[in-house]
């Protein structure tokens, strides 16, 4: 019984920071519709600021002042970010802000190492709360009791703020209907800035409160951001109370999961989120959102297939790319192969996002399944490359069949988070099922057949596969299936009225995209010669999103350019500098501000006459 | 299209000219180096300082065979796939004659498999996994640091002397933690059949939920605990464990905790009385180590970490291999490295011919707090060659020659 109580209290204490970060994320999303990827970075900055201040100032006063000061400092940083960056891109397509805040995260990760050094920092213990109280025969840290009290207090204060102040009423109104609030003459600019500041301040508070328990490291951001997303989505978007319930649920699950299944506690929270979303598609306390007002804004200028002259030009480009081995050495060719593999991967995601309107945060699932499919066939069954490449991607296809079936029951951010959960479940299987997957040591020795082991031969193979894959996706987009998919994206109600079943069409889109991502994964396994669980990692999924967004969401094959630019840049940067994340992040932010439609949007800046004949996008 | 193809031809010609002009200087020998500089700076920065110091000393002494050594260093960001790109660039376009480095076990394994495929020598510096020299070992790969098995054997030897009968374990839930626990259990149970394993905790690496983990361990009522967590997880585990009284009247045996990388950040909260492996640089007084310490502090005005030693010795080993081989041919390098003796700040070591593992050892001692920071006391250097299984067992474990 004592253990039970002790675990319960630890779970509650663990929920505090998670709740603070998640509630901030939820509030920001509710009003500004920004999926703030940089939220974890602000959490980390809060911890760094508090830790450095508290180590300089001594005494109880110094400690609590440090906590408050760090919250204010980071909140002001957040406001500056909102005013200088986000304000410029509210009008950009949805999710573009995700790209911008992702860039900010990259910058901050390197910046803290440059500013505060590579070593982990240790903050002081909270003065007066260092000890423990004995409850039911167990020593419970006093600081844990303090943390347990924090969540309801913050919840209460937020409730007062939203329900008893004019500002709060305006914010709630904006959450319900942004356009209406604007029409009533409320200065949206400052409303958004203040909301962003509040959300960021909550994240920083969550980070600052961790310093008596945790070490402050430059990787804190990633460890919290995914969990915070899970809490927000499980609790229901925009619901602060829901965030609290979900934070407590997930923390308790961690605490008791450790007693019951110490090895699988990694997946437990993803499994719970998946179950919650399948049963309650809008989270525990979320409300169903109405049909989206505006989609990608493509209805005005619909896509058209390419005119013959442009097809010829594209064919010419492919031939030109095929001539690369004439001039390039083996290293350039292996980089070229990698870029082509990611072109196919990003194009498959682009198809889901642009054509299908289905934002997947877990596209790495199919990529990774393709990797493992090919690698297992090659090593466990000893299949030659040719057959393993053909059959391996079927595992990606199978994954898409299963996950897609669940995912299409949801929409928007909920769908995105469910796909993320599936990718994470795949990741844990890959890293835990050591007998089959080799665990973290991966599968080695997946090298191509003799004929394809020359870099030029493998490059040509990758080029052929990528070109066929992208062509197939374009054909699918302009086939009746593609039109149906676009119809359900643009208006579900009208599409159903003319007899198009949304779930079935979107499911098919998942399966097609999953198969092509699986093919790119299988090729990737043979390019690298080995596969590891990080093929399923969040960063693989995010890389895909960045490529699509960079290339331009509102285009059919912008991902081709996005993947090429992003992959080439990141390979080159990591080769020449240790601060590749800093440079890459800054470039992404610059791209977002200068090219809010992505690389494919460059043409909008050029005189139209240049494209008089080819109007396809 | 016509314009395009003309442009293409021009581009082809221009780039061939460019490529032809870039011949590499024959008076240097290039070594390719890969590590997780951006992913794990706390460990890899000291490591980089270590090999840079050694490189400076080697070149100041005239280099190898009259040629200067040049190290081309790449960051892998902690990802095996990125490390493979880097290895490709280093060998195919930068003209590196051998590879060295890596920290994470999976990155080390990926590069070792690359080395086997491309027939290039690879000197793994930090990866601890036993697979890299045994189950997945290959002719091209050598490894410097004492492996998981060796460290487990050193700790199990100490653990067997403890009266404790009920043991619990806590380890990060990935290959390193899993194999550390498995080997330790196997070796300790062999020495002490009376021991009972009463519980195990597997927190996610980097995300330990320390309070519940400590409570769960308390519930198992062990006499002693094996800890394999490190870095930020270790900090949280130590803080929660201290507050909740987990370490009171219990023996704790802990991997790596004595390394300054992990012990120093804990400051005065460092645990006391733990039996650990590590590197007490402040208390080693041998001529070899004094020379290293003096040179390191003079160059960087900083204290060394274990990473510094590993970087320093890896570089020295690479130079010694090149010097002995007298050639940059991979087969000659492998032949030179097998059985190569080397003087290090820890004393003489050797790269075993049988499994390409170096006999570098580790310090085993007890933690204490001195002047507000964690230190190792009562430590002994354990020579790695005494903690490896006999040759017949190694031959059974290793498929490669």
B145-169: average pLDDT: 95
Rounded Cα distance between B114 and B111, Å, is 5
- B52 to chain A, closest Cα gap in Å: 16
Angle, to 10 degrees, between the axis of helix A455-478 and the axis of helix A308-322? 160
Most B CBs within 10 A among A147, A441, A459, A570, hence the mutation to make, goes to A441
Residue B327, burial from CB neighbour count under 10 angstroms (0-12, 13-18, 19+) = middle
Q: Does any CB of chain A come closer than 8 Å to the CB of residue B131? A: yes
- B387 to chain A, closest Cα gap in Å: 23
Rounded Cα distance between B59 and B237, Å, is 44
Q: Name which of A212, A247, A206 is nearest A230 in CA terms.
A: A247
Q: Which residues of A touch B210 (CB under 8 A)?
A: 213
Rounded Cα distance between A210 and A14, Å, is 10
Q: How many CB pairs under 8 A join A and B?
A: 220
Most A CBs within 10 A among B106, B134, B172, hence the mutation to make, goes to B106
pLDDT of residue A311: 87
Q: Does any CB of chain A come closer than 8 Å to the CB of residue B264? A: yes
Res. A361 pLDDT band, cuts 50 70 90: confident
pLDDT at A611 over 90: no
Lowest mean pLDDT segment, chosen from A542-546, A611-615, B119-123 = A611-615
Nearest to A528 among B19, B84, B203 (CB): B84
Rounded Cα distance between A259 and A253, Å, is 10
Q: Which residues of B touch A47 (CB under 8 A)?
A: none
pLDDT at A502 over 70: yes
A258 and B15 within 8 Å at the Cβ level: the answer is no
Q: Name which of A416, A428, A418 is nearest A268 in CA terms.
A: A428
Rounded Cα distance between B342 and B322, Å, is 13
Q: What sign for the dihedral angle of Cα A56, A62, A68, A72?
A: negative
Through-space distance between the first and last CA atoms of chain A, rounded to whole angstroms? 65
A415-429: average pLDDT: 87
Rounded Cα distance between A378 and A347, Å, is 26
Token reading at A559:
């991902």
Rounded Cα distance between B70 and B378, Å, is 40
Residue of chain B whose Cα is closest to the Cα of A8: B212
Through-space distance between the first and last CA atoms of chain B, rounded to whole angstroms? 56
Res. A81 pLDDT band, cuts 50 70 90: very high
Q: Name which of B149, B129, B193 is nearest B167 in CA terms.
A: B193
Tell me if B321 sits within 8 A of B337, measured CB to CB.
yes
Give the 3-state secondary structure percentages of chain A, helix then strand then coil, rounded to 5.
75, 5, 25
Lowest mean pLDDT segment, chosen from A261-270, A542-551, B65-74, B389-398 = A261-270
Res. B21 pLDDT band, cuts 50 70 90: very low
Res. A265 pLDDT band, cuts 50 70 90: low
Q: Which residues of A touch B176 (CB under 8 A)?
A: 440
Per-residue pLDDT tens digits for A21-34:
999 998 998 888 88
Q: Does any CB of chain A come closer than 8 Å to the CB of residue B129? A: yes
pLDDT of residue B39: 82
Q: Does any CB of chain A come closer than 8 Å to the CB of residue B175? A: yes
ipTM (interface pTM): 0.85
B211 and A223 within 8 Å at the Cβ level: the answer is no
Residue A121 Cα to chain centre, angstroms: 28
Nearest to A578 among B1, B37, B239 (CB): B37
Residue A365 Cα to chain centre, angstroms: 13
pLDDT at B10 over 50: no
Q: Which is higher by pLDDT, A262 or A514?
A: A514
A233-259: average pLDDT: 88
B88 and A332 within 8 Å at the Cβ level: the answer is no
pLDDT at A288 over 80: no
Q: What is the pTM of this model?
A: 0.88
User: Given the structure tokens 């911008």, which residue do they identify?
Assistant: A100
Residue A497, burial from CB neighbour count under 10 angstroms (0-12, 13-18, 19+) = exposed
């Amino acid at each position: 019984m004592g253990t039970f109580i002790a675990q319960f209290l630890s779970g509650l204490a663990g929920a505090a920071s998670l709740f603070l970060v998640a509630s901030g994320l939820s509030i920001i999303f509710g009003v500004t519709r920004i999926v703030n990827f940089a939220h974890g970075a602000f959490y980390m900055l809060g911890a760094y600021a508090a830790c450095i201040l508290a180590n300089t100032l001594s005494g109880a006063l110094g400690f609590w002042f440090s906590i408050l000061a760090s919250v204010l400092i980071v909140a002001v940083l957040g406001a500056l970010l909102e005013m200088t960056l986000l304000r410029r891109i509210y009008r950009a397509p949805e999710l573009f802000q995700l790209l911008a805040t992702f860039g900010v995260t990259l910058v901050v990760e390197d910046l803290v190492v440059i500013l505060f050094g590579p070593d982990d920092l240790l903050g002081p213990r909270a003065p007066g709360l260092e000890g423990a109280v004995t409850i039911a025969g167990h020593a419970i840290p006093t600081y844990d009791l303090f943390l347990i009290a924090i969540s309801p207090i913050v919840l209460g204060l937020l409730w007062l703020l939203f329900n008893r102040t004019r500002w709060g009423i305006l914010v709630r109104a904006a959450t319900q209907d942004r356009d209406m609030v604007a029409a009533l003459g409320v200065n949206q600019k400052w409303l958004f800035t203040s909301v962003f500041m509040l959300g960021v301040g909550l994240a920083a508070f969550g980070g600052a409160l961790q310093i008596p328990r945790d070490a402050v490291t430059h990787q804190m951001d990633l460890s919290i951001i995914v969990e915070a997303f899970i809490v927000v989505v499980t609790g229901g978007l925009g619901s602060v109370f829901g965030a609290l319930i979900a934070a407590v649920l997930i923390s308790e699950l961690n605490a008791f999961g450790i007693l019951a299944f110490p090895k699988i506690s990694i997946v437990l929270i993803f499994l719970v989120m998946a179950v919650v979303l399948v049963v309650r598609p809008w989270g525990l306390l979320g409300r169903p959102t109405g049909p989206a007002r505006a989609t990608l804004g493509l209805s005005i200028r619909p896509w058209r297939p390419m005119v013959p002259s442009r097809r010829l030009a594209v064919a010419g480009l492919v031939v030109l790319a095929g001539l690369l081995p004439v001039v390039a050495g083996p290293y350039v060719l292996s980089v070229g192969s990698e870029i082509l593999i990611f072109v196919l991967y990003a194009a498959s995601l682009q198809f889901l996002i642009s054509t299908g309107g289905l934002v997947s945060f877990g596209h790495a699932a199919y990529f990774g399944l393709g990797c493992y499919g090919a690698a297992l066939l090659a090593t466990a069954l000893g299949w030659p490359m040719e057959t393993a490449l053909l059959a391996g991607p079927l595992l990606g296809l199978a994954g898409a069949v299963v996950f897609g079936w669940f995912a299409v029951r949801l929409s928007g951010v909920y769908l995105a988070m469910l796909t993320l959960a599936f990718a994470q479940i795949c990741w844990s299987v890959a890293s835990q099922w050591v007998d089959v997957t080799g665990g973290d040591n991966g599968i080695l020795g997946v090298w191509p057949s003799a004929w394809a082991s020359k870099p030029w031969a493998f490059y040509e193979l990758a080029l052929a596969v990528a070109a066929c894959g992208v062509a197939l996706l374009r054909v699918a987009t302009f086939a009746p299936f593609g039109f149906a998919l676009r119809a359900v994206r643009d208006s579900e109600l009208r599409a159903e009225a003319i007899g198009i079943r949304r779930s079935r069409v979107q499911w098919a889109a998942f399966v097609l995209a999953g198969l092509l991502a699986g093919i790119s994964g299988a090729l990737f396994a043979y390019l690298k010669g080995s596969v590891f669980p990080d093929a399923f990692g969040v960063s693989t999924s995010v890389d895909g999103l960045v490529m699509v967004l960079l290339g331009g969401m509102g285009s059919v094959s912008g991902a081709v350019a996005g993947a090429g630019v992003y992959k080439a840049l990141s390979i080159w940067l990591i080769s020449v500098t240790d601060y590749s994340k800093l440079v890459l992040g800054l470039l992404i932010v610059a791209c977002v501000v200068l090219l809010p439609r992505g690389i494919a949007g460059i043409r909008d800046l050029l005189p139209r006459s240049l494209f008089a004949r080819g109007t396809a996008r | 299209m016509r314009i395009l193809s003309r442009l293409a031809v021009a581009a082809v010609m221009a780039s061939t000219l460019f490529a032809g002009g870039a011949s590499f200087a024959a008076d240097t020998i290039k070594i390719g180096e890969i590590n997780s500089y951006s992913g794990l700076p706390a460990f890899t920065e000291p490591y980089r300082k270590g090999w840079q110091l050694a490189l400076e000393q080697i070149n100041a002494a005239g280099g190898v065979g009259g040629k200067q050594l040049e190290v081309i260093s790449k960051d892998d960001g902690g990802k095996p796939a990125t490390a493979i790109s880097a290895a490709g660039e280093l060998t195919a376009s930068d003209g590196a004659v051998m590879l060295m480095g890596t920290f994470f076990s999976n990155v080390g394994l990926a590069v070792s498999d690359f080395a086997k495929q491309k027939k290039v020598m690879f000197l793994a510096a930090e990866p601890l996994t036993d697979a890299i020299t045994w189950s997945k070992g290959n002719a091209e790969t050598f490894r410097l640091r004492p492996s998981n098995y060796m460290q487990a054997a050193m700790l199990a030897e100490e653990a067997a002397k403890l009266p404790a009968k009920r043991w619990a374990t806590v380890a990060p839930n990935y290959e390193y933690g899993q194999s550390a626990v498995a080997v330790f259990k196997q070796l300790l149970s062999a020495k002490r059949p009376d021991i009972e394993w009463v519980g195990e905790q597997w927190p996610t690496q980097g995300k330990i939920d320390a309070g519940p983990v400590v409570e769960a361990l308390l519930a198992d009522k062990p006499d002693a605990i094996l800890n394999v967590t490190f870095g930020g997880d270790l900090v949280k585990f130590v803080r929660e464990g201290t507050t909740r009284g987990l370490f009171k009247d219990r023996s704790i045996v802990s991997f790596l905790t004595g390394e300054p990388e992990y012990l120093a950040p804990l400051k005065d909260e460092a645990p006391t009385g733990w039996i650990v492996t590590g590197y007490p640089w402040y208390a080693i007084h041998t001529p070899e180590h004094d020379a290293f310490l003096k040179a390191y502090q003079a160059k960087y005005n900083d204290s060394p970490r274990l990473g510094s030693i590993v970087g320093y010795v890896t570089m020295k080993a690479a130079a010694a291999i090149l010097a002995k081989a007298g050639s940059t041919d991979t087969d000659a390098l492998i032949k030179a490295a097998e059985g190569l003796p080397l003087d290090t700040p820890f004393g003489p070591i050797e790269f075993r011919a049988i499994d390409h593992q170096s006999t570098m050892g580790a310090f085993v001692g007890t933690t204490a707090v001195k002047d507000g920071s964690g230190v190792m006391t009562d430590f002994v250097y354990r020579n790695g060659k005494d903690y490896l299984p006999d040759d017949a067992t190694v031959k059974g474990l290793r498929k490669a020659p």
